[in-house]
Amino acid sequence: MTTTVYDVTTFPASVPATTDIGRVINEILAQVHAEQTSQTTRPGAVIYIPPGHYDLLTRVVIDISYVQIKGSGHGFQSLAIRDESDTTGWVDTLPGASHIRVLNTDGALEAFLVKRDASPSQAGRINSVEFRDFIIDGVEASKPYLPGSGKIGINVASDSDSVRIEGMGFVYLSTAMVLRGADAAWVTGNFAAECGSCLELTGASQVVRVTNNSLISAWAGACVRAEHAEGLLVEGNTLVWHGSVHLSECSRCSIASNKFVSSWPGMVWMEGACDENLITGNLFTRVDTESSNDNGHDDLFGMLQCSGTDNLVSSNLFSYRVDAGLRRPASAIPTIVLVKSGANNVIMGNHVCGTDDYRIVLDQSTTGTRIVHSVPQTAVEAYTQDYVCVPMP
C-alpha cells in the first residue's frame, strides 16, 4: 500500500530535518508526486513534525492538493518581549513544541509557498491544503516588521479551495499568512504576533472564515487586510497593538464579536466601494501606549471609517482612552465613526465611553445615513443635509 503518512524525523531524506526541514518536506512531496500519479489515486498525504527545533533553509513548495502539514502545538513565545528583557532567570528563551526557524538561504521569502502552475486555469486550483499546530519563527526582526518587505510564513499564491490554517503560531515575520483567491478558507485558532501584517487576503476571496484567533500586528500593517472579498467572516478574534481590519472593495462581510485594542485610529477601515457589510457586537478600545509611532492616520480618521453603501454598524462598544495631550492633531475632538462616502449606511444602537468629547462625522458626499440611538445630536458633525439622526433618548 502506498505510504500517505510521513514523519520528517524518520523519512530517509538527504539531510536531517533539524538541518533543513524545508528540503526534507520537499523530498516527501516529491515522493507523493511519484506514488500518486492518476486523477483517481491522489488522496494526498500527512506530513508530521514532532516537537523539536527545526531550521528551514529551503522554501517548501506545495503544488498538490490534500496535503496536511501538522505538528504538536503552536509553541508560541513573544520574541519581542524576550529581546527587550533580561532573560537571566527565564526557564525558556525559544519558542517550543514543533518549532520551525526560517533561515532561508535559497533567496526565497516564504517558508511555505502553495502554488500550482498549470493550464487550463482549473488545473491550477489547489484544494484542501492544511497547516496545523506548529510555529513558524522568523528568528529576527525589527519593528514595525514592514509587511511586504521580508519573511512570509505561509503564502498561498494559487487560487485555492478549502485551505485551512489552524492552531498555528507565527512570530517575527513581515507577513504571517497570505491567501490569494481563497474560496472557503478557514483561518482559526491561530496565534500571530510581532508581525508586520497577520493575514492578507489578496485577489478576490469568498466565504473565508477568520475566527477565534489572537492577531497582533505592528502599526505599519494590519491584523486582517482583504481586497475584493465577498462574504468574509471575521468573528471572535482578539486583535491587538494595531488591532485592525482593513477592507478594500469588499461586500457582504461580517465583522462580529471581536475585541479590538489599538494604539491608532482605523480599527475597521472600509475603503472604496464596500457594500452591505455588517459590523456588530465588537468591543473597540483605543489606547495611547504607542503614541510616539504613527500609522498614518490621526484622530479625525475615525476609530471606524465607513465607505460604500448599505453598511450596518450596530451594537458595538467604542471605548476611547487617549489623553487630550496625545491626540493628533493637537487637542482634536476624536472621531469615533467617520462615514466617508456612500449611501444608506446605518449606525444603530452603539455605545461610546471613556470620553465625553467625541464625534460621529458625515462627509459631504454621503447620502441617506441613519444614526439611531447611538449618540446625542450634539455629537453628530454633518457636512451634508441628507441624513437622519434619532439621538440617544
Strand boundaries in 259-330, DSSP class E = 259-262, 268-271, 278-280, 283-286, 304-307, 312-314, 317-320
pTM: predicted TM-score of the whole model, two decimal places: 0.96
DSSP 64-92: SSSEEEE-S------HHHHHTS--TT-S-
Q: What is the pLDDT of residue 325?
A: 85
- Compute CA 352 distance to the chain's CA centroid, rounded to the nearest angstrom: 26
Q: Which three cell numbers stand for residue 146?
A: 514592514
Q: 105 CB contacts (<8 Å, ≥6 apart)?
A: 57, 58
Report the distance separating Cα 141 and Cα 195, nearest Å: 9
Report the distance separating Cα 6 and Cα 163, nearest Å: 20
Cell 532567570 found at: 89
Low-confidence ranges of the chain (pLDDT < 70): 1-2, 118-124, 291
Q: 16 CB contacts (<8 Å, ≥6 apart)?
A: 9, 24
- Specify the 3-state DSSP secondary structure of 120: coil
H-type helices in the chain, by residue range? 21-35, 79-83
Q: What is the pLDDT of residue 331?
A: 82
Residue 154, Ramachandran bin (φ over 0: left; ψ between -120 and 50: alpha; else beta):
beta
Q: Which residues of 359-387 are buried (b: 16+ CB within 10 A; e: fewer)?
A: bbbbbeebbebebbebbeeebbebeeeeb
Q: 6 CB contacts (<8 Å, ≥6 apart)?
A: 28, 31, 45, 46, 47, 48
How many residues are listed for the chain in this entry? 393
Cell 507523493 found at: 32
Q: What is the pLDDT of residue 164?
A: 98
- Condensed to tens digits (0 to 9), the pLDDT of residues 68-114 reads 999 999 999 999 999 999 999 999 999 999 999 999 999 999 999 99
Q: What is the pLDDT of residue 37?
A: 84
Report the distance separating Cα 364 and Cα 366, nearest Å: 6
Report the distance separating Cα 288 and Cα 60, nearest Å: 40
Report the distance separating Cα 157 and Cα 91, nearest Å: 39
Q: What is the pLDDT of residue 122?
A: 52
Contact 135, 112 (CB under 8 A): no
Q: What is the pLDDT of residue 41?
A: 78
Q: Which three cell numbers stand for residue 153?
A: 510564513
- Condensed to tens digits (0 to 9), the pLDDT of residues 27-45 reads 999 999 999 888 877 889 9
